[in-house]
Structure 1
């Protein structure tokens, strides 16, 4: 069954102004806010960007969700010439593959026409719009035709129903566009240089002097000696104020930026280099010591801008040319409306205006939006047909030998599907950190890292430990290895020893290069085994019991906290009764070689942290007798012979690696042995499916396991796996809803039983946590596909790892924020990722969803403004679209 609905108190988006104004234009701010407050407000246009070693998916428009998708799309197109709707070639290719149904495109067109005041015949409007929807470009010779320009001049007196849009561009960019001086380019080059010097964490042999004083003060001390600036430019910057906020205000005043436009101007500068600005924003959020870093960045940038463009000030005002606006509108009617130039003289002025207004409204962005919505609707209809026709039966009474809790990651879906086919196994989907807000510290490491979504903060630290004797010997071997690495790096960066280093290291590195190049699979395995043989890491235990506090975080858990986290984890995955003899908590990670984006293939939410450590902690907590006893008092009875174990799903190899297997009961041992016997066949099936998707490999793959191992170990491989490409939906419901369905590795699956959630708390937590993370992942893949030059990171083969932070193209590009070309494209011409906005499907009664939307304003806003699509399926199987 199918249906559609609008959100409670929702205004139909189609009835809004079709050419909306820019987001939150500032009008007459009185009194003028503090400059730091304006910087904080302006930072909404960029996303914080952490180091690539702890890569976490980010929604690049997370601060703009208060505006509609179309508003933001128009604003970005005008201010930075960035198009965030899929290109015509992407849309037409999707249609040719059968992914966009023509009927849905026609339905979107008719719906749009229904809400317009056309002032001309519906038939004429339909013919024009259908022709324009073919997405072909206007012929250049038509746009340059003298007759057409002459007609545009005659019609320039008509007052069209348009909204004037004046993008707030930086003065350096305006100057570059007006006089063809590369001022904006030079400004970016200078800013990039100083950002690299200040933010460098590992690569520079010499660090920036006075770095500890902050970015602005370190820059101010040195910029007056910068040989890349002219003498007059250095003299202008010599007397900059001591403090960043004062310098920023002084620069804005010198550029004569009106007070009511300051925030817009700051936003324009942040969008000039969103990567470096995003890194400054992220750093400012990590400690109070650097909380003004973004203000310092803007003070440096805008002070430099003033020094570069002062000789050209004041710039002439930008003027709108009515004639240039009319030329493409008339050409559109000539090309798509089959209306010759001569025919315009036969129309009254009202008829001329009606046609021009329609062409203005039905512009390229609106046309592509209709195509995108038709593509999304086609996918939703096919998903609906698959799920509603799925003949599933309850398996609650069917005995299960083992139960597996997997991360909701889309790469888990094919593995879960094959695992359930292979035996009496049941799988569950839950957020891959398993609800444990922990910071982890591996044996012998001096550093710990957060192992939870980046939107959360850790509340506990869990450490690995072993016997004192084993730890000392292991630590000594680690220190030897670390000393060799540090010595090698020191010699490489020293002017004298770098001359000797090739003679010393050449034979070993040459041998390693040959082995890794010609025998990547065997070489990688051999080098890894040699490392493990040298280190000989002992068996370890976890610090689960609360003992003391380190750096404001308690180590371990109290008895009450242990019970709380286990209870919450079991409820979130929907496993509170009918326990199997063996329960496997499966984290997930990846394995690749020479890959700056290796962290991006681990957990997309947790900053590149594998979920294996969390899985081990949860399994150990679930096996504690005191925890089980307390849970039994609350109605969650875990049988005595049920044993929890932990494993890691290696997504590159589609293997399960056992991390924690305690002493097993007899029935659990039987289950464990059957799983071990079954897993090779499961891996082979999933590997074949995965290989078939990789370009130019399926036809020559003879041994899936060997091929996947080679991809993981080959240091020249630019695409070890597809990651989360083609993700399209997030399903919140019982596994029975999708069991047996081939979801093609495109769906996040989170278990949910509405009958056990009368107050809606579980659903609210899923939406606020896992669903939000899935939306971030979805929109990062979306942005990297539709605007790879701005939100992606280009070709992996030509990237430069910079300052230990991220990647650049060349030595003077922005710090690239998104995914590489190879993560979203099959080839230079063919897109692999389908840029669709995430569809959230909730299996629950209608009143549950209404309550959720009423209480969760952020989620309501995302759905209302087109950043997420929403559908529900009620207990009777009735499908309802809310978007």
Structure 2
């Protein structure tokens, strides 16, 4: 409980309209109310804004409970479905994907209370057109009145709160700003409510006077309302959670606003929104609900705490077991690919290669890595988190602050600014002044186009002058807008922009504050050492080492950041790759590394690159800084990349409906997709992700995973204390789980955990989207990112994690990292390991127990 709120007293409402005059069955204290409300707020997962959209585990607040318990709570409370309908598993069973042996094993692993025969009966009885009927959820007052009287209070309340939050949190989309933005959310809403007649017109008599009687403190208001509604003490947390779920999107946004604050601080922010939502139910309770309706409402809450529907409970248990069986079937396919050639074969480190290419562990990189390795036996690829171990804030040219270029679980530790190569102070000033002038003119022009006075006349007079641009944009020949990083700059200048890694102090903009940017030498050496060790690349360096980040090209797409690099905070990995390459090419850094036992040969050079996952083009950076004696190597690299790009496009073509195109036409078609402002599926992103493997590349090099596996290089022999494995399991593995569970949830229940139909999206305040013109802020992924119109492109599977390391090392991480242990022990993911010495596979069974898993190809 937040100590600042523990002393709150429930204030009696003044005499007159709005006083609670309906008998409440209990007398709850303020401390109990706020404690329950605070616990409910801590269950909310954050929602990142569109500009930095990253995958988030929507069940983040429930990781301390088992997956089974979360499924039960979600079904009862209206949180959302966490399992597919029985008809889905029946289809998988009829197709042969799920076998009877899978169901038997699933029942044993899940500790299910249902029998094999019950599962088989459910599969045989499931009709293709039938769907599971979820039990009635715990109702808010608005839900209950809607069910009893046919009203639409729940929708109205959600719309009203969403409309208010959109105006309050707007980040520049609206031309006219709300006058109360300088006040706390609840206080601002309470003042606006004094003028808002919408609820009264809808049928809540004296709504404004009713709200005026509430305390000015949100904590006191929550306490007063909860005490008045008469919800039992042991149901208060569920009741508050249910209230927040009616505006789940805005609740998630407020959780992000306080991320990564302490739980008490995050709860304090959410309490303001909870107070607003409760206030509407409070008004319905006083002014609309009849005594009999109140009685039945309270009985539903009391009954749901002590009773459950046995049939519904068995149905849930059956679906849970079938989900396990479905995932075991997926693991069988995955392990079959690892089993040939036999995993017991001696893993011999490869000879020194001509090229080593380090890619992000993103599943899309797996396709390109295989393609690049297929081009030449002289190429070795490695997998590492796409920020390359450099947690930076990257400040673009002409800006005074930047964006985090690191996983959202981390905080940037260094500021890196951009500058223009070979530009003196005067040249740089002229470049910046030109950019600022162009941006100001563009801002004025945009304001003129969207103003209430000029918008119609502007279209009437000058619309035809844009016909050429409109046509070329529509055909995908040009981009609809310039890329933000190059807006207002000449092409020649753009080619000279790059990061400055050395420590400097100065102003980033005219009249701005003096700030410190860059990285000190000692810190550069330490970052370089950790990055190389994390890549398992401390010796055997190739002549060229490519550090290849990734990003996506798309236009008119609110979810564009979701297609970029999650390890870079929802941005392109270009900045991190260039910074990492610059640091590793630094002579002083190399000297410092050599003193620590990592000797990078003089004839090794690090090259930064960017893989465009929409077009499969790879762009190389800072080639003017490469010594001349690498000219032939660079030419060879570019030839190899072009061949790999063609192979990767060919593999991806069928999923994009381009299977019959030749190499040239395929390249042009994918480029067109990246520029098409009507394209709802520029690429498939991380759809299909199913597993995370941390092992030497020799273990997986022979296998084709079809872009479904996060591949992280890891060789336990290169460390003695387990620090690298600890980092892998607490950062990349957790991030992969976040991604997996977001895709899982969006596929299982897109209405609750996804964002619906992409065609209907409307951007709100530049921070999120509504589906249509009202409703709650949507979370998760649009349906078009998961489904191709015929079938799901993403299979809803919990992540299977496979680590090649001794059991003791993995258990050491689980014992020291409580949050990681929760993910594993509570079955939010599956953990398997490969014994390095003999290649045997084991499944984690809980409490540091391991069960053998067969890798015999004949059993697959």
Normalised by the length of structure 1, the TM-score is 0.84
2:140/2:281 contact within 8 Å kept: no
Report the alpha carbon displacement of residue 853 of structure 1 after superposing the two structures with TM. Answer: 2.2
Please state if 1:131 is matched with 2:121: yes
Please state if 1:295 is matched with 2:271: yes
1:390/1:737 contact within 8 Å kept: no
1:216/1:244 contact within 8 Å kept: yes
Equivalence for 2:327: 376
Structure 2 SS opposite 1:813 = coil
Of stretches 425-434 and 196-205 in structure 1, the one that deviates more from structure 2 is 196-205
Of stretches 280-289 and 64-73 in structure 1, the one that deviates more from structure 2 is 280-289
Report the alpha carbon displacement of residue 178 of structure 1 after superposing the two structures with TM. Answer: 2.8
1:91/1:371 contact within 8 Å kept: yes
State the distance in 1 between where 2:466 and 2:86 align: 48
State the distance in 2 between where 1:139 and 1:383 align: 31
2:150 aligned to which of 159, 180, 199:
180
1:546/1:558 contact within 8 Å kept: yes
Cα RMSD between the aligned structures? 3.2
User: Which whole-Å deviations, capped at 9, do the CAs of 1:433-474 have from their partners, x for residues lacking one?
Assistant: 111121001112233111111111111100011322332232
Change (3 A) 1:804 1:110: closer
Structure 2 SS opposite 1:48 = coil
Please state if 1:478 is matched with 2:435: yes
Change (3 A) 1:530 1:387: same
1:690 aligned to which of 652, 663, 680:
652
Change (3 A) 1:138 1:840: closer
Report the alpha carbon displacement of residue 549 of structure 1 after superposing the two structures with TM. Answer: 8.6
**Where does the alignment leave 5 or more consecutive residues of structure 1 unmatched?**
1-27, 119-124, 144-164, 330-356
Please state if 1:879 is matched with 2:835: no
Please state if 1:277 is matched with 2:256: no
Please state if 1:247 is matched with 2:208: no
Please state if 1:317 is matched with 2:317: no
1:730/1:771 contact within 8 Å kept: yes
2:792 aligned to which of 817, 824, 831:
831
Equivalence for 1:862: 823
State the distance in 1 between where 2:680 and 2:699 align: 36
2:551/2:564 contact within 8 Å kept: yes
State the distance in 1 between where 2:312 and 2:188 align: 50
2:381 aligned to which of 427, 431, 437:
427
Report the alpha carbon displacement of residue 96 of structure 1 after superposing the two structures with TM. Answer: 5.2
1:44/1:64 contact within 8 Å kept: no
Equivalence for 1:451: 405
Structure 2 SS opposite 1:867 = coil
1:701/1:707 contact within 8 Å kept: no
Normalised by the length of structure 2, the TM-score is 0.86
2:457 aligned to which of 497, 500, 504:
500
Report the alpha carbon displacement of residue 126 of structure 1 after superposing the two structures with TM. Answer: 5.3
User: Which whole-Å deviations, capped at 9, do the CAs of 1:598-634 have from their partners, x for residues lacking one?
Assistant: 1000012433211110111111011111111111111
1:547 aligned to which of 504, 508, 512:
504
Equivalence for 1:412: 365
State the distance in 2 between where 1:127 and 1:734 align: 43
Residues 87-236 of structure 1 aligned to structure 2 (within 5 Å): 87-95=85-93, 98-109=96-107, 127-134=117-124, 136=126, 168-230=138-200, 232-236=206-210
1:647/1:656 contact within 8 Å kept: yes
State the distance in 2 between where 1:763 and 1:126 align: 39
Equivalence for 1:645: 607
Change (3 A) 1:81 1:405: closer
Equivalence for 2:494: 537
2:29/2:227 contact within 8 Å kept: no
Report the alpha carbon displacement of residue 768 of structure 1 after superposing the two structures with TM. Answer: 0.5
Change (3 A) 1:733 1:170: same
Change (3 A) 1:268 1:535: farther
Change (3 A) 1:305 1:622: same
State the distance in 1 between where 2:350 and 2:366 align: 24
Structure 1 SS opposite 2:295 = coil
User: Which whole-Å deviations, capped at 9, do the CAs of 1:376-425 have from their partners, x for residues lacking one?
Assistant: 11121222222132367756452311111111000000101111111211
User: Which whole-Å deviations, capped at 9, do the CAs of 1:72-127 have from their partners, x for residues lacking one?
Assistant: 11111111172110223433444455533343124435777x975x9xxxxxx654
State the distance in 1 between where 2:668 and 2:388 align: 32
Structure 1 SS opposite 2:363 = coil
Change (3 A) 1:697 1:98: farther
1:388/1:877 contact within 8 Å kept: no
Report the alpha carbon displacement of residue 291 of structure 1 after superposing the two structures with TM. Answer: 7.8
State the distance in 2 between where 1:309 and 1:30 align: 17
Equivalence for 1:726: 688
Please state if 1:793 is matched with 2:791: no
2:769 aligned to which of 804, 807, 813:
807
2:30/2:223 contact within 8 Å kept: no
State the distance in 1 between where 2:107 and 2:616 align: 44
Change (3 A) 1:715 1:278: same
**Where does the alignment leave 5 or more consecutive residues of structure 2 unmatched?**
1-25, 508-512, 846-860
Report the alpha carbon displacement of residue 522 of structure 1 after superposing the two structures with TM. Answer: 5.1
Change (3 A) 1:521 1:386: same
Residues 719-798 of structure 1 aligned to structure 2 (within 5 Å): 719-798=681-760
1:642/1:668 contact within 8 Å kept: no
